[in-house]
Amino acid sequence: MAVSVDEAVSAGPGRDHTPSRRRRGGRGRSVLEVALLTVLAVVMLFPVLWMIETSIKENRDVYAIPAKFFDFKVTLDHFKDVFAGSGGGRSALSVSFLNSVVVAGVSTALATVLGVPAAWAYSRFSVKAKKDQLFFILSTRFMPPVVVVIPIFLMYRQLGLIDNKLGLILIYTAFNVPFTIWMMKGFVDEVPAEYEDAAMLDGYTRLQAFWKFTLPLLLPGIAATAVFALIFSWNEFVFAIFLTSSDSVRTAPPAIAGLIGGTTIDWGLVAAASVVFALPVLVFAYLVRKHLVAGVTLGAVRR
């Protein structure tokens, strides 16, 4: 115990752990490993590649048989169509992207603001039936969303939250708070409580101790958790399609799905919209990739 606390203190949480990861990756892979990983990568990434190709092909190349992999004319028309409306002005899709940004951003911010202090409290204080409470919180994530979509639809109808961005924000927050609490509790547990004890003896209040001394050490964890929450809200489809109907409220996933189903399907537009939709998630994941791995493997790796 004494040793582990000491290690934690001397190493300092939130320290850069790249050296160890670099050691694990890159050099020293066998030929077989490389071959298997290449096959896996091709299989996994082919749909993504096809999506990107389709988004920059002209319509006749999209339908070409045999399929054209390389020798097609590149066009950005589909991307223009994603953002610009047919009669000038903004397209319905671009509005739905904006809706997605608002809904995902606000619900993630809310979940973080609510979940981080809760995680801190669960980590630091003796709460009655703490384990049961935490299990209950987690259990809300056990069922698939589609199970509760009908009761929520009925409740939302009473409250006037159907086809309302606030409705989506609330439901996404409700789904993200348990996740935030669980993931952040792991990060808070890793920060020795003694920093706060020391700060309180220095003369700070408990909240000041949290705010000034623990919170800065939690920022990487908060970033990782928020990205996960953001990705969940950004990708969410079931609630979005059930609870929204008008173009002005709809988020991107049901809006993109709505492009499919007419008499003719503009695959180029679907692919371009999908690329635009996927980009923010990729960018965010790339920005916090170091912490994502830390978050995913939290508890599994003894630092």
Partner 1 sequence: MGTVAVHGLRKSFGKVQALDGVTLDVPDGSFFVVLGPSGAGKTTTLRAIAGLEKLDAGSVHLDGRDATADTPAARDLAMVFQSYALYPRRTAYENIASPLRARRCSSSEIAAAVEQMSSLLHIERLLQRRPAQMSGGEMQRVALARALVRRPRAFLMDEPLTNLDLKLRVEMRTELTRIHRSLGGTFVYVTNDQVEALSMADRVAVLKEGKVQQVGTPAEVYERPANQWVAGFVGSPAISLLACRAEGDRLVGAEGWTLPRPRWTTAENGRPLLLGLRAEDLSVERRGDTSLPGELYGLEPLGDRTVVDVQVGTEMLKVKARPTFTGTPGERLHVTVDLDRAHLFDAGTGLALSESGR
Burial of 83 (0-12, 13-18, 19+ CB in 10 A): middle
83 binds partner 1 (CB under 8 A): no
Closest CA to 171 of 242, 93, 97, 277: 242
Q: Which two tokens stand for residue 103?
A: 């809904």
130 binds partner 1 (CB under 8 A): no
Write the interaction track for partner 1 spanning residues 110-129; mark x where CB under 8 A is met and - where it is not. Answer: ----------------x---
> What minimum distance in Å lies between the beta carbon of 155 and partner 1?
40
- For partner 1, the closer of residues 80 and 303 by Cβ is 303
Q: What is the rounded distance in angstroms from the CA atom of residue 11 to the CA atom of residue 188?
A: 16
Q: What is the rounded distance in angstroms from the CA atom of residue 93 to the CA atom of residue 247?
A: 8
Closest CA to 187 of 213, 212, 224: 224
Closest CA to 214 of 201, 197, 229: 197
- For partner 1, the closer of residues 218 and 227 by Cβ is 218
Q: Provide CB contacts within 8 A for 117, sequence distance 6+.
A: 210
- For partner 1, the closer of residues 212 and 290 by Cβ is 212
Interacting positions 195-254 with partner 1 (CB under 8 A): 195, 197-206, 208, 213, 216-217
192 binds partner 1 (CB under 8 A): yes
Name the one range near partner 1 by CB under 8 A: 13-21, 77-85, 149-157, 290-298. 13-21
Name the one range near partner 1 by CB under 8 A: 10-18, 45-53, 98-106, 253-261. 10-18
- For partner 1, the closer of residues 4 and 245 by Cβ is 4
Q: What is the rounded distance in angstroms from the CA atom of residue 232 to the CA atom of residue 226?
A: 10
- For partner 1, the closer of residues 73 and 206 by Cβ is 206
Other CB atoms within 10 A of residue 160 CB: 10
- Interface ranges with partner 1 (CB under 8 A): 2, 5-6, 8-15, 126, 192, 194-195, 197-206, 208, 213, 216-217
